[in-house]
Amino acid sequence: MLILNKWILFIDGSVHPQSGIGYGAYLAVKESDLSLDALSARVKVLRFYPTSSTRLELQTFLWALGELPSSARHVTVYTDSQNIIGLHGRRERIEKNNYRSRNKRLLNNADLYEGLFRKADQFNCSFVKVCGHQLSREKDALDRLFTLVDRASRSALRKEVRWKTCC
């Protein structure tokens, strides 16, 4: 079956735990657009505060989905976030327990989980786990595209943390 409006989404984030500052980055491309040279300029970066590493990955994912055109029908998400990859398998239990833990405490990031499930359904998302930090010689074309978002988020965070520590 041919799926029209099929997109690939690469997401990553970098956080400075001591300050609670994080930068999320994403790259959204139609499957037919996979040219490394032109795509590096299309990586989007956004600052999040306050955040944590887990929260940042979720915030970045929701932000990226919110930026996709409403005509997108299927999105394959590439991430190194084990939390996002594992959410699909935990979804039924999380929703059944009304976003609460066994001791009835509201889950950390419950608001983001709820939004993520809603958006993922809207865009018929599937997820692919990538190894975030491989040697260049071991990377395939998709790994190289993921590297663009990884570098963008780390670079943005480094610039801010360096600026705050020096000035």
What is the per-residue pLDDT across 4-34, written as a single tens digit (0 to 9) for each? 678 999 999 999 999 999 999 999 998 766 6
Residue keyed to tokens 């786990």: 129
| Bridge partners of residue 26, in order along the sequence | 11, 44
Domain count, the chain: 1
User: Is 139 within the bounds of a domain?
Assistant: yes
Cα separation, 76 vs 102, in Å, equals 32
Residue keyed to tokens 């590096």: 40
Residue keyed to tokens 């490394």: 36
Q: Find the CATH number of the domain harbouring 125.
A: 3.30.420.10
Q: Which of 95, 81, 72, 88 is nearest to 126 (CA)?
A: 88
pTM of the model: 0.89
Cα separation, 150 vs 167, in Å, equals 26
> Based on C-alpha coordinates, what's the Rg of the chain?
16
Residue 134 pLDDT more than 90?
Answer: no
Q: Which of 61, 1, 5, 67 is nearest to 33 (CA)?
A: 5
Using one digit for the tens of pLDDT, what is the confidence trace for 143-160? 888 999 999 999 999 999
User: Is 34 within the bounds of a domain?
Assistant: yes
User: Is 128 within the bounds of a domain?
Assistant: yes
Using one digit for the tens of pLDDT, what is the confidence trace for 49-95? 999 999 999 999 999 999 999 888 899 999 999 999 999 899 999 99
User: Is 1 within the bounds of a domain?
Assistant: no
For residue 62, the 8-state DSSP code is: H
Residue keyed to tokens 């970098």: 14
* Residue 144: predicted pLDDT: 86
Residue 94 belongs to domain spanning: 6-166
User: Is 68 within the bounds of a domain?
Assistant: yes
Cα separation, 97 vs 82, in Å, equals 21
